[in-house]
A and B are shown apart, each in its own frame.
Chain A
Amino acid sequence: MIQGTVKFIAAAVIACALQVPAFAQTNCVELKTTGEVEKEVVNDKGEKSKVLVAAADSKVVPGTEVIWTVTASNVCKQPSDKVVITNPVPEHMTLVPGSVVGVGADVTYSVDGRTFAPAGKLMVSENGATRAARAEEYRHVRWEFKNPMPPGSSAFGRFRATLN
């Protein structure tokens, strides 16, 4: 009876040990989002320039454009492959057409969060007819990075959205 229990525990331990590689390094890719707003500043010489300030410290009102940046960092000692970042356009906001940036990534869009396609190729049905989705209808942005991320490297995607 006791022997049987010990054998069972041992089997469980071995089973866990086999899965260690998957769980030991919980988040090889850490993801961080920031929201910023462009603010015009004037220096001592009266020259105007634009700086980015954290949206949370800014006065965001309807019509304000917020620049959302999502940064992926590989914190593991192995490269990460097939890195795909998906960012929903925040509720109450509308994507600014042509504002999506993603160096080294293929960018696709989605209206429903399930079907993704490049700009202009995403179709929606309306009144029984199919048409291309308009940029302001995109509710999700996806960046598929073409190359593996080496250890310690980072990559980012960025888009602008206007508060409704």
Chain B
Amino acid sequence: MSRSTRLWVAAGMFSLCGAWVERAYAVGVAAGTNIDNTAQVTYSVGSVSATATSNTTSVTVAEIVDTVVTLQTPSVPVVPGAVQQEMVFRLTNTGNGPETFQLQMTSALGGDDFDPTAAVPPIYFDTDGSGDLSPGDVPYTAGSNDPVLAADAFVTVLVVNDIPTGVSDGNRGFSRLTATARTGSGAPGATFASQGANGTDAVVGTTGGEDEATGQYLVASIALNAVKSQAVVDQFGGARPIPGARINYTIVVSATGSGTAAASVFNDAIPANTTYAPGTLQLNSVALSDAADADAGDFSTVPAARVRVQLGNLTQASGSQTIQFAVTIN
């Protein structure tokens, strides 16, 4: 493989396109709010009209205890033996009062191919808001820094596992985060007298005051290989690399492993002391124009002479991709 051959695999190497649905929640009137009702009446007695006001009936809004945990990373690509691999969850207080939640993670789940090994500590807050595990993130300790969330507020939580070494491509390992309201959980409608905000009663909402979400690690090690070969044809019918001779390059790109190499781009510099032969760029024997346009390939001299071919999403099933172009020796 020539040293000048560079194969760029764009960021987002693995397909992370799985969609998840962000549910919307209306929290409703805050626990402890007083709802007052006062009516008025006007009437006449003989020719005299009068007005009267009723008593005021007051109802205090009780606290509804609800929480929702959503997975933010549908599938986390990992390689065997990887350590400190995080899944991102969001814990939202969908009740109508402030609530404290206890967090728990488990990776010993059925239905998958391997059990991830919980890191120590296994749960972190995404304190720095980076969306991944970073030095500024604070570990969670049950009973010590349980998240306290105002109504409708959320916190981003990272669940961290190590991946065993003996796993193979395509294996999946599940990990689950469970959040439970400290005030209480159980059957919807269950009440906890005077345990709500501002001394109100707390009522367990439709989520039971507890929710969980499960994410997966997917062992997906995809590698892109490029093999470059060349053939020299001189203007005298021979194969000598002399000025004016043409060098025909053939590069075969193939993906091995599982997963998807997303938006792969082949990029190759024109060797020094040579000039690109216009109109010679091909992908899988189909000619590509030199202009940057609708087809996958183009030739550019800025900032340095190079050819480029957009290969798109490559999987092992895509098969090998053959790129050809030619240069002339100066």
Interface residues, chain A, CB within 8 Å of chain B? Answer: 21-22, 25, 27-35, 55-56, 59-63, 66, 68, 70, 72, 76, 78-88, 90-93, 149, 163-164
Contact = CB atoms under 8 A, between A and B. Distances in A.
Nearest to B27: A62
B203 A29 contact: no
A61 B38 contact: no
B39 A80 contact: no
A43 B28 CA distance: 33
Given A27-B52, A61-B96, A61-B203, A84 B42 contact: yes
Contacts of A27: 50, 52
Interface in B33-85: 33, 35-46, 48-50, 52-64
Top-6 shortest CB links A-B? A62-B28, A31-B54, A87-B39, A61-B64, A70-B39, A59-B62
A68 B54 CA distance: 13
Given A29-B50, A35-B37, 4 more contacts: A61-B62, A72-B43, A81-B44, A164-B28
A102 to B, nearest CB: 12
A163 B39 contact: no
B26 interface: yes
29 contacts: A28-B43, A29-B43, A29-B52, A31-B41, A31-B55, A32-B55, A33-B37, A33-B38, A35-B37, A55-B57, A60-B61, A60-B62, A61-B63, A61-B96, A61-B203, A62-B26, A62-B61, A62-B96, A66-B35, A78-B46, A82-B44, A83-B43, A85-B41, A88-B37, A91-B35, A91-B36, A92-B29, A92-B33, A93-B35
Contact of A21 (B46, B49, B58, B60): B46
Contacts of A34: 57
A82 B43 contact: yes
B50 A68 contact: no
B35 A76 contact: no
Interface string B204-242: 010000000000000000000000000000000000000
Interface in B256-292: none
Nearest to A25: B45
B10 to A, nearest CB: 46
B56 to A, nearest CB: 8
Contacts, number: 126
B39 A90 contact: no
Contact of A72 (B27, B41, B48, B55): B41
A58 to B, nearest CB: 8
Nearest to A37: B59
Given A28-B43, A82-B43, A87-B37, A22 B27 contact: no
Nearest to B26: A62
A63 to B, nearest CB: 7
Give chain B's interface residue range (CB within 8 Å of chain A).
35 or more
B146 interface: no
Interface of B is mostly: strand
A25 to B, nearest CB: 7
Nearest to A86: B40
Contacts of A85: 39-41
Contact of A90 (B36, B46, B54): B36
Nearest to A74: B43
B28 A61 contact: yes
Contact of B28 (A82, A87, A163): A163
Contacts of A72: 41, 43
Nearest to A83: B43
B64 A62 contact: yes
B201 interface: yes
A20 B26 CA distance: 55
A70 B45 CA distance: 20
Interface in B287-307: none
Given A59-B201, A92-B33, A164-B29, A31 B61 contact: no
A31 B40 contact: yes
B201 A81 contact: no
A92 B35 contact: yes
Contacts of B64: 61-62
A80 B59 contact: no
A35 B42 CA distance: 21
B44 A59 contact: no
A59 B57 contact: no
B57 A78 contact: no
Nearest to A84: B42
A22 B27 CA distance: 49
B156 interface: no
A149 B41 CA distance: 13
Contacts of B59: 35, 55-56, 60, 66
